[in-house]
Amino acid sequence: MSAVWRWIRAHGLQIYAVLAFAYIFTPIAYITVFSFNLPAKSNITWRGFTTENWQDPCGAPDVCNAVVNSLKIGAASTVIATILGTMIAFALSRYRFRGRTTTNLLIFLPMATPEVVLAASLLTLFLNVRVPLGFTTIIIAHVMFSISFVVVAVKARIAGLDPRLEQAAGDLYANEFQTFRRITLPLVAPGIAGAALLAFSLSFDDFIITNFVSGNVNTFPKFVYVSAARGLPAQAYVVGAFMFLVTMLIVLVVEAFRWRREARLAP
């Protein structure tokens, strides 16, 4: 028994890592496997293997329309939130101005406020100013809660920059714009890209706020929620598995570029 206990203590971290990854990836594995399930009214029990769902991902009513809506909203809100959040991050990191501390505090409020409170507040605002609920209100809401995450991610990247690199550019007669374009922006670009991916994921995945302010516009999370009551179609699993595969591909490509760069810079 003591030998078993010593082995567990020696490999405790590895055991914990395996259990953690199993806990995280079990739902993803379930979605991937059941995306190949024979189509029926409900996709809860396994009936047999087929590739029909992947060959016709739009076979379920309204699933592709919901996915396209989520992609459009995610792309629009990501672009706006990334641009605004990056500018705010530079302003808060590089400049001193009146209200800077208060602005830092306000940036974190959307992250700390429960989504249902934000959703109800936004719905009340849109109704009071008589803004029709739809694409516009969804994009405004998603930009609102995504900016905070963009600012935090970009600020962390800016804080890690070596100021001597920009000073060296100035010593070599580069003006402020040239320094920003050739030194600062390339160094901050990984943080901006990570913030954009995070903003897109938050937008594509959001249900609570979207459900309040979307009106008649259907998004993929709304489609999943409504369809779950009568049986989620296999095509929804196909979309989920495909999004996971695309995300993994992006991560692998980024890591490959990083490894290649490190190998090129290594002595």
- Per residue in 70-124, pLDDT (tens digit) is 999 999 999 999 999 999 999 888 888 888 888 888 888 888 888 899 999 999 9
Residue 166 lies in a domain: yes
- My answer on whether 20 and 90 are in the same domain is no
237 within some domain: no
pLDDT at 6: 78
Q: Is residue 68 part of a domain?
A: yes
The rounded distance, in Å, linking the Cα atoms of 104 and 101 is 5
CA distance 245 to 212: 30
What pLDDT sits at residue 73?
Answer: 95
The answer to whether position 240 is within a domain reads no
Together in a domain, 89 and 6: no
CA–CA distance, 183 with 174 (Å, rounded to integer): 10
Position of tokens 């496997």?
Answer: 33
Number of domains the chain is built from:
2
Residues 21 and 107 in one domain: no
Question: Are 81 and 147 within one domain?
Answer: yes
Same domain for 147 and 194, yes or no, is yes
CATH of the domain at 70: 1.10.3720.10
Nearest to 146, CA basis, from 206, 218, 101: 206
Provide the angle, in degrees to the nearest 10, between the axes of the packed helices 2-10 and 12-34.
70
242, part of any domain = no
Domain membership of residue 98 (yes or no) is: yes
- Per the structure, the complete domain to which residue 205 belongs is given by 61-232
Q: What is the pLDDT of residue 62?
A: 85
Answer for the pair 79, 142: CB distance below 8 angstroms, yes or no: no
Whether the pLDDT of residue 41 is over 80: the answer is: no
Could you say which of 35, 52, 69 is where a domain stops? Answer: 52
For tokens 């890591």, the residue is 255
Encoded tokens for 35 = 């995306």
Residues 36 and 77 in one domain: no
| pLDDT for 196 | 93
Six-digit token pair at 69? 């809506």
Contact (Cβ atoms closer than 8 angstroms) between residue 43 and residue 237: yes
Both structure tokens of 34: 């059941």
Give a yes or no: residue 45 inside a domain.
yes
Claim to verify: residue 217 and residue 136 sit in the same structural domain: yes
* Residue closest to 150 by CA, chosen among 199, 203, 200: 199
Q: Give me the pLDDT at residue 100, please.
A: 81
Residue 95 included in any domain:
yes
Nearest CA-CA partner of 237 in 24, 21, 44: 44
Q: Which residue has the tokens 């060296």?
A: 168
Query: What is the pTM (predicted TM-score) of this model?
Result: 0.84
C-alpha–C-alpha distance, residues 166 and 176, integer Å: 9
* Amino acid, single-letter form, for residue 267: P
Burial 6-37 (b: 16+ CB within 10 A, else e): eeeeeeeeeeeeeeeeeeeeeeeeebbebbbb
> Is residue 266 very low, low, confident or very high in pLDDT (cuts 50, 70, 90)?
low
pLDDT digits (tens, 9 = 90+) for 158-188: 888 877 877 787 777 777 788 888 888 888 8
DSSP H stretches of helix in the chain = 2-10, 12-34, 52-55, 63-94, 100-112, 115-128, 135-159, 163-171, 176-179, 185-205, 208-213, 220-228, 234-265
Same domain, 23 and 149: no
Same domain, 46 and 97: no
The whole-number pLDDT of residue 1 equals 58
Q: Are residues 8 and 67 in the same domain?
A: no
Q: What is the pLDDT of residues 189-202, one digit of tens each?
A: 888 988 999 999 99
Whether 48 and 65 map to the same domain: the answer is no
Residues 124 and 37 in one domain: no
Please report how the helices 185-205 and 135-159 are oriented relative to each other, as an axis angle in degrees rounded to 10: 140
pLDDT-derived band at 142, boundaries 50, 70, 90? very high
